[in-house]
Each structure stands twice: as C-alpha cells, then as structure tokens.
Structure 1
C-alpha cells in the first residue's frame, strides 16, 4: 500500500479509537499494535515492550514528576489566594488594578504550578466573585481567568515544553527561555483587552475600589515571596550551569513541600499523601502517553509513513508560510479534542522534519505549537478551562464563559501572528543566554 494512503488510514483509525473513549496511551498502543501486526506480522510484537520501556529510559523524564510535585504542593495550599491578595493590595490604586491583579496572579501561579486547571481554580475562586462584586462584566471576569490559566503551559517551568524537548530531542533549557517573552506578551495582550472591554462597558469608575495601608501590603509578602524565590532559583540553577533540569526540579519539589509544611502547616500525613498521590497519578499518565507515543512513532517510521509525508511536503510548490498556516490549522483542530501532551507526542515526530525542511526554527515552532494548545484549553468542545470556571462559578452560563474567552483566543492568534512576523520574540533570549545555535 502507498505510504501516504496508509498514513491517511492510520490517522482516521487513530481518531476513531481515541474518540471511542479509550485513554490516549492505550489507544496509541492499540493502533500501533494493529498496524504492526497487519504489515510486519506477529513478530513485531516482540519489539513493542523494548520500545515502550526504552522510551522511558531517559534521565530528563525525571523532571516531569518533580515539577508536577512542585506544582501540586503549591496548589494544595492557600498560595494562590495569597498571591491574588498580595497583587490586589499592591495594585489597588492602579487603573484597572483588579483585572491586572487577576491576570498577574494567573501568570505567576501558572508559572509556579504548571497546571492550567489548578490556576483557574485557585485564582478564580477569589478573583471571579470579587470582580463581579465590583461590577466587572461576567464575560471579562470568567474569560480572563480561563485565559490566564492557560499560561501555565508556556511560562517556564513548563511540563509541556519538557515533553516537546524530549519528543524532538531539543534543549529543554532553550525551550524554557523561549517561552518567557511570548508568555509576557500574552499577559500584556490579555490585560489590554480586559481593560478595554471593561472601559467599553462603562464600568471604568469601579476599577479603583479598595484601599490598603503600607503595613497591609507588606504583611502578605512573606507568604508569597518564598515560592517566587524558588521559581527564580530553579531557573537560575538551570541557566547558570549549576544543575540539570532534572536536578533543579527535584530540589524545587523538595523546597516547595518544605515551604508548604512550614508556612501553610501542611504537615498532616493525609494532606501530604494527597499531594503525592495526585502527583503520581498525573506523572504516570504523562509517562504512559510518552511511552505509547514512542511505539506509535516507531510504527509510523517502520511503515515509512513519516518519511513519505515529509518527502511529499518537500515536493509541494507552496510558500512556506502557507505550509505553516496549514500546520497551525491542524494543531488548532487537534487541540480542540486532545490534551496538549498527546498532540505534541503524536504530531512532533511528523511535523519536525517538515518545519525544519521549510526553514523554520524548532525552538520558535515549540512556542507557536504551545500557544495553539493554549487556544484548545479555552475552546469547545473539550476546553478544559471552560468547565473548570463553570464549576467554580455555576451561575455564569457556559455560553457566557465561552463568549468571554473568545477575545482572548483572538489575542493568542495575534500573538502567533506577531511571532511569525518577529521570530526573535522566541529565539532572542535563548540565543543571548545560551549562545546562538548552542
């Protein structure tokens, strides 16, 4: 069978299997085993365990459960509420201070936890009622938190970036640095839209409610600064050449647990057990998907599907930006239905040769891909963050949350356009810190 036609069959059957309700990892294994048996015979099954476990034989993978523990220990405390309250106290006199506080808290908490749902829940529980009480439109209140929560997969340290780095054998340190400026760009675009939307609705006079003394502003900082110091320390250790991402993640996880115990009195064995249990579940899920995706990639390669697609794309007489537009459309649609980790692991082996052949930087592409995955988190039908917001504010209809999120989707699309026009937004910082082409 022609490899391109076979690739179309693999894509169709994979979509059908995943839509059947089977978990992503198990679905990939089923599809891989089926096609390997059909074209290589039963002997191909002998290689599957070796490929499955061989994919996990990578020291860099240790950073995934460590960063997840780091985020879980923060998410299990009042760190999100304290972070929100600290920003509110310091920004209350700034025009639009409350909405800026919420988006700033989302960005910082997302960076600390790396989890979009946890960010939405932690900041939204306090931020949404407070914004609505002061007269902010429901769409702005819900949409800003839903969009702000997505920043966790872009602003470092990001588990999604780690997965991309492992899947494409790209430097994780460069990927983390590449997400900094685009992440700040998105925060700025989100803030600009929220302020404009609030002003347009005629609620600008309600933006500066509340007043805090200097004592009140400083007394909240000891609860927040230690976690921020850990994030800065982790990034400094990686980029200063002091330790590897896995080593810094392990130290960061331990320090976050210690701070959670000391500052937030998380010393009950049951609370610690919940942190470790939830972290283990999420880590095993991600690692299983990584292992299954390794088998899936082997199947695509052994049947010459990946090579044939890359060769076919190379023969197309189309502008490379038309090609990138098609790739973005594919990622956008995939992100509507699948979690970011699954999309990256399935698509990266196929897309990387295509985008490098077309002359695009794989580090830059990682940022573009991640923003596409962010759009999926606040877009139906799966849009996880939409349902999290609906769960913590059930009196705001899903339709209103979706309508409030759409302008932020437009902000993300604008960010992708800006990255295409100015790729240095993603590549400049890694080149400055780690050297060009390092």
Structure 2
C-alpha cells in the first residue's frame, strides 16, 4: 500500500475514533496501536510502553505537573478574587476600569497559574458577578473573562509552550520570553476594546435614562478611599513577588524550567498557607487531587499523541505530507496562512496539546525550509490556538464561563467572544508585519539565535 493510501487511512481512522466519543488520549492511542499491528513489524507491539516512556522521558515535560501544582495552589485559594478586587479598587475611576481590571487580573493570574481554564474560573467567579451587578451586559462580561483566560497559554509559564518547545526542539526559555511581548500586546488590545465597549453601553444607558428616566447600574459612580486601595494590596503583592522571583530564577539562569516549576509550586503552597491558612490535609486535598487529575489527563494525552506521531513517522506519513507541502512550491506567506488555517480547523475539535503534538512533524519542516523562525511561529500558532479556546464547537473557555455563569445564555457568551477573536486575528497580522514584537526580547536577554 502506498504512503498516500496509508496516510489517508490513518487520518480517516483518527477522525472516526474521535467522533466515536472516545477520549482524545484513547482515540489517538487506539489508532496508533491498530496501525502498528497491521503495518509495522509484529515485535513493535511489544515496545509500545517503552516507546511511550522514552518519548515522555523529557526533563522539560517534568515541569508540567509542577506548574500545574503551582496553578492549582493559587487557583484553589482566594488569590484570584483578591487580585481582581485590588485592581478594581485602583482602576475604578477609569472609563471601563472594571473591564480593564478583569483583563489585567486575567493576565497576572495566567502568568502565575499557566492555565486558561483555571484563569477563567478564578477570575470569572468574582469578576462576572461584579460586572453584571454594575450593569455590564452578560455578553460583554463573559467575553472579557473568556478572552482574558486564553492568555494562560501565551504568557509564561505556559504548558502549551512547554509542549511546543519539546515538539519543535526549541529553547523553552527563549520561547517563554518570546510570548511576553505578544501577551502584553493582547492585554492592551483587550483593555482598549473594554473601554470602547463600556462607552457604548454607558451611552445607551444614558440615552435610556434621558428618554424615559430608566435608571441603570452602569450609571452609578463608585468611590474608594486611599485606605481601601492600599488595604487591598498586602494579599496580592506576595503572589506578584512569587511571579517575579520565578521569572528571575528562570531567565537569570539560576534554575532550569523543572527546578523553577518545583520552586514555584513549593512557594505557592507556602504562600496560601501563610496568607489564607490553607495548610491542613483537608485543605490541601482538593489542590493535590486537582493536580493529579489534570496532570494524569495531560500526560496521557501527551504520551498517546507522541506514540501517534511516532507511528506516523515510522510509516513515513509525516515525511510524505511535509514533502508534498514543499513540492506545492507555495510562497512562504501562502504556506504560513495555509498552515494556520489548518490549525484553526483543528481547533474546532481538538485542544492545543493534541494540535501541537499531532501536527508538529508535518508542518514544522516546511516552515523551517521556508525560512520562518520556529520560535516566532510558536507564538503565532499559540495565538491561533487561543482563538480555538473561545470559538465553537469546542471552545473550552466558553463552557467554563457557562459553568460559572449559568444565567448568561450560551448564545450571548459566544457573541461576546467574537470581538476578541477578531482582535487575536489582528494580533497575528501585526506579528507577521512586525516579528520583532516576539523576537526582540529573547534576542536582547539571551542573545541572537544562532539558527533561525
């Protein structure tokens, strides 16, 4: 059987397994094992566990459960709500300041937790009710939190970036640094939209009040004294210091990513014990259970995805697909946007973890041959995958928001995220026009890359 026929059969079997309702890890693992049985030497089945172990025996992957522990420790405490409250107290006089505070809180929490769902849940559980109480529409409130949560896979430490660094064989430190500039750019874009949308909703409320005397919560003015503002800081600053310390340890060369993750996890547990009194076994049990469940789920997906990629490579499917793409002789920008279109389509059905590990063997060789910087592309691809977190049918963040705000119709949640999807697409175009937004910081801190 030709490589093309095997490749088409492999892709068809994968789609069938996924649409059958099997969990992603088992769907990929099943397809890989079946094709090993029919198309690879019989002895290869005896090495399934060895192959999975060898693919996962990466010191970089060790950091994933440790970063998850850090995120769970912070997410299960009141740190997210306190962070949001402090930012709101300082920004309430700015037009749309409540929306901006939520964007900034999502960005800071994402940088501490490294998880999009955790960011949505931690900030949204406090932020959405507060925005609704002050007159923000359900779509506006849901969109801000859903979009802000996506920063969890762009701002370091990002589990998605860790996997990309492994798959693309790129420097994790350089990749983390490359995400900071685009992450801040998205924060500015989201905050700017929050101001514009707030002014629109405020103007409508004023018009309704002038026409019919209809009062609206958004028209009420809040006041915070300086004492109230400064009293909100003590519980927040230790976590900002933790974030800063972890970054200094990582980028200053004082610790490896795994050591940094371990240090961050221990310090996060220490902080919630000191600040929130979370130290008893009954308090720690939900944190450890969450860490174990999420780590197990992710590592299962990673292991099966790597086995899936190994079989694809052994059968020359990935090499053949890469060669076919190169043979099409597309211009480099047409090639890039074709691949990004593929990532968008896959984002309809798959989480970022699976997209990276399944597509890396196919899309990275042609991109490298076309002269694209794989660190830069990793950031662009991450933003495109962020879009997948807030557009249907999967849209993980959409369903997280629906879970914490069941009173907001799903239609409103989806429509609320649309402007942010457009802003992310604009950010991708800006990165294509000005790649230095992502590459300047790693070049400045770590020196120019020897191979681009």
TM-score range (shorter-chain normalised) is over 0.9
Counterparts of 1:288 and 1:97 in 2: how far apart (Å)? Answer: 41
Counterparts of 1:208 and 1:185 in 2: how far apart (Å)? Answer: 31
Give the Å deviation of 1:356: 0.6
Q: Could you tell me which residue of structure 2 aligns to residue 259 of structure 1?
A: 271
Q: Could you tell me which residue of structure 2 aligns to residue 232 of structure 1?
A: 244
* Contact kept? 1:55, 1:290, Cα under 8 Å: no
Counterparts of 2:116 and 2:235 in 1: how far apart (Å)? Answer: 22
Residues 186-220 of structure 1 show CA distances to partners (whole Å, capped at 9, x for unaligned) of 11111112221222231587478311111111112
**Runs of 4+ off more than 4 Å:** none
CA RMSD in angstroms, aligned pairs only: 1.5
* Contact kept? 2:95, 2:199, Cα under 8 Å: no
Residues 384-412 of structure 1 show CA distances to partners (whole Å, capped at 9, x for unaligned) of 11112122222210001111110100011
Give me the TM-score of the superposition, normalised by structure 1: 0.97
Counterparts of 1:321 and 1:6 in 2: how far apart (Å)? Answer: 29
Alignment of 1:60-71 (within 5 A): 60-71=60-71
* Contact kept? 2:161, 2:378, Cα under 8 Å: yes
Q: Could you tell me which residue of structure 1 aligns to residue 347 of structure 2?
A: 335
Counterparts of 1:296 and 1:2 in 2: how far apart (Å)? Answer: 19
Counterparts of 1:297 and 1:237 in 2: how far apart (Å)? Answer: 33
Counterparts of 1:207 and 1:329 in 2: how far apart (Å)? Answer: 43
Distance verdict in 2 for CA 1:286–1:344, change over 3 Å? same
Alignment of 1:346-365 (within 5 A): 346-365=358-377
Gaps of 5+ in 1: none
Gaps of 5+ in 2: 207-217
Q: Could you tell me which residue of structure 2 aligns to residue 323 of structure 1?
A: 335
Give me the TM-score of the superposition, normalised by structure 2: 0.94
Q: Could you tell me which residue of structure 2 aligns to residue 44 of structure 1?
A: 44
* Contact kept? 1:92, 1:208, Cα under 8 Å: no
Q: Could you tell me which residue of structure 1 aligns to residue 223 of structure 2?
A: 211
- The answer to whether structure 1 residue 301 and structure 2 residue 313 are counterparts is yes
Give the Å deviation of 1:348: 1.3
Q: Could you tell me which residue of structure 1 aligns to residue 78 of structure 2?
A: 78
* Contact kept? 2:348, 2:395, Cα under 8 Å: yes
Give the Å deviation of 1:4: 2.7
Q: Could you tell me which residue of structure 2 aligns to residue 246 of structure 1?
A: 258
Residues 72-107 of structure 1 show CA distances to partners (whole Å, capped at 9, x for unaligned) of 000010001100000011111222211111111111
Distance verdict in 2 for CA 1:317–1:61, change over 3 Å? closer
Q: What is the SS of the residue equivalent to 2:391?
A: coil
Counterparts of 2:447 and 2:105 in 1: how far apart (Å)? Answer: 32
* Contact kept? 2:63, 2:261, Cα under 8 Å: yes
Q: Could you tell me which residue of structure 2 aligns to residue 184 of structure 1?
A: 184
- The answer to whether structure 1 residue 414 and structure 2 residue 438 are counterparts is no
Counterparts of 2:241 and 2:311 in 1: how far apart (Å)? Answer: 44
Give the Å deviation of 1:160: 0.8
Counterparts of 2:404 and 2:219 in 1: how far apart (Å)? Answer: 23
